[in-house]
Amino acid sequence: MKTLLIRLLIAPTAALAGHLALAANPPPPKPKPRPPVPAPAPAPATSVIAQYLNIDINAPANYAAVTLPAFYDPQVLQGVNTPANNRITDKGATLGRVLFWDKRLSVNNTVACGTCHQPANGFSATTQFSKGFSGINGTAHTMGLANIAFYRDGSMFWDKRAASVEAQATQPIKNSIEMGFDASNGGINALLVKMQALPYYPELFRAVYGDPAITEARIQLALAQFERSMISVGSRWDQGYARTYNAALADKGLSLDVPTLSAQENLGRRLFMNGVNNGGQGCAACHQPPSFALAPNSRSNGLDAGETRVFKSASLKSLSPGQPMMHDGRFTTFEQVVDFYNLNVKNGPALDNRLKTRDGNVRVPNMAATDKAALVAFLKTLDDPTLRTDARFGNPFKP
C-alpha cells in the first residue's frame, strides 16, 4: 500500500513536469503559405531602343544648353531662325539625330539624310552630286548644314523653295530621286506606317511628345532641332577672335588683327572683312561673321550670265578643301572660288548689287596674286574640326 501511494503521488508530478516542459518549449508554428511571386515587370521602353541604338532617350546628350563664345552675343542670337514652337530640347534633337541617320526612312532602306550630309565634310558631300535611293544622281550639290540656324531669312535649299528648316526637313524623304517616298510609293503616309512598325520609333516619339503618334509635323520638328544644333564655333578663326572680340567697339573687334593667325591669314581676314572703300573686298557684307551665314538681303552671285534665280548659300564655316562648292558643285578649291569673284562674275537680273559698280556693271577686283592667296588662307581658318568629330552628331545606330 505504501508503494502504491508513492506511485500515485509521483505520477501526477511527472505529468505536471511534462506539461511545464511543453509550455517552456512550444512546438514550432505551422508554416504560413507564401504569397505568390509577382510576374516580372515589363522591360523599360529604353530596352527596346537599346537593341537598335547607342542612345539613352532618358539621359540624352546636351543640345539645348550649349555654351557659345561671347561673340555670339544677343544681337547675333536675335537672328536665329528658330520658331517659338520648336525650341531645341535634348530629347527632341536626339530623336532628330535618329531620324537623320535612319536609312529606313528611304523607300528601299539604302539612304539617310546623313548619307549625303556627312559630318566629316561639314555636313556636306565630297561628290558634286549625291546619289539617291536608286543610284540616280541629284541635280544640286549637297548643301552644308553648319550654322543654318543663323540664316535669318530662314528659307532653305539653294533656291530657297522651303520657307523654314521644318518645311525643308521632309522634302528629301518625299523626293522621287533622293529617298523615294513620292506619290508613286505611297507618299509620306507610307513612311508613317513603316515607322510605326519599327519598334524604337513609338517609344522615342512617346519620350519626346508624350504619346507614340508618328506624324510628318513631328518628324519635321525633331529633324529641325537636330539640324539647328549644328553650330560651328571651333575653328581657328573662332579661337582667335575670342581674344580680340570687344563688344564696346562699333565692329566688335572684327577689324583687329587676330593674334593666333599668320600675317598672310590676317591679310586675307582684312580683305574679307573690310569694305571695298576700305581696302577690302567686302565679302563679310554677305557672309556675315561670326556665323558666316548669308545676309538675308543677299541676291545671286553671278555664276551664269543672265541669271534670274536668287540663290542662297551655306555658311562658310566648316568648308574644307576639295569639297565641291556652289549650288551645282562646279568649284572644288578655294582658289577657284576666289578666281571666280576676282574676274568671272557674270551680270544678270538677279545679281547682288554688292557685286556691281555704281553704273550697273560687274565689279572686277583684279586682285594681285598675293591678295588672292591671302583670301584662300583666311577661308581655310574657318574650317571646324571639332564639329566634324562631335559625337552628338554621329550615327547612333548599332552595326
Q: How many other C-beta atoms are found inside a 10 Å radius of the C-beta of residue 129? A: 18
pLDDT tens-digit series, residues 369-389: 999 999 999 999 999 999 999
Which range (7-11, 28-32, 364-368) has the least confidence?
7-11
pLDDT tens-digit series, residues 221-258: 999 999 999 999 999 999 999 999 999 999 999 999 99
Q: What percent of the chain has pLDDT over 90?
A: 86
Phi/psi-derived region of residue 265, left when phi > 0, alpha when psi is between -120 and 50, beta in every other case: alpha
- pLDDT bracket for residue 322 (50, 70, 90): confident
pLDDT tens-digit series, residues 94-131: 999 999 999 999 999 999 999 999 999 989 999 999 99
C-alpha distances (whole Å) from 137 to each of 116, 185, 263, 322, 329 are 11, 19, 42, 19, 13
Sequential DSSP letters for 6-20: HHHHHHHHHHHHHHH
Global pTM reads 0.87
CA distance 114 to 326: 20
Which helix H or strand E contains 288, and what residues bound it?
strand 287-288
The DSSP secondary-structure symbol of 331 reads B
Does the structure show a pLDDT above 50 at 21? Answer: no
SS3 355: helix
List CB contacts of 30: < 8 A, sequence separation 6 or more.
none
Cell numbers representing residue 25 in the block: 518549449
List CB contacts of 154: < 8 A, sequence separation 6 or more.
81, 163, 164, 165
pLDDT tens-digit series, residues 265-320: 999 999 999 999 999 999 999 999 999 999 999 999 999 999 999 999 999 998 87
Q: Where do the domains of the chain lie, and which CATH numbers do they carry?
A: 51-232 (1.10.760.10), 236-383 (1.10.760.10)
C-alpha distances (whole Å) from 89 to each of 65, 202, 208, 209, 367 are 9, 18, 9, 11, 47
Residue linked to cell 543654318: 148
Say if residues 313 and 145 touch (Cβ distance below 8 Å): no
Q: What is the pLDDT of residue 35?
A: 60
Q: What is the pLDDT of residue 11?
A: 39
Taking only Cα atoms into account, the Rg of the chain, rounded to an integer number of angstroms, comes to 34
Q: What is the pLDDT of the chain when averaged over all its residues? A: 90
- pLDDT bracket for residue 37 (50, 70, 90): low
Greater pLDDT, 26 or 310: 310
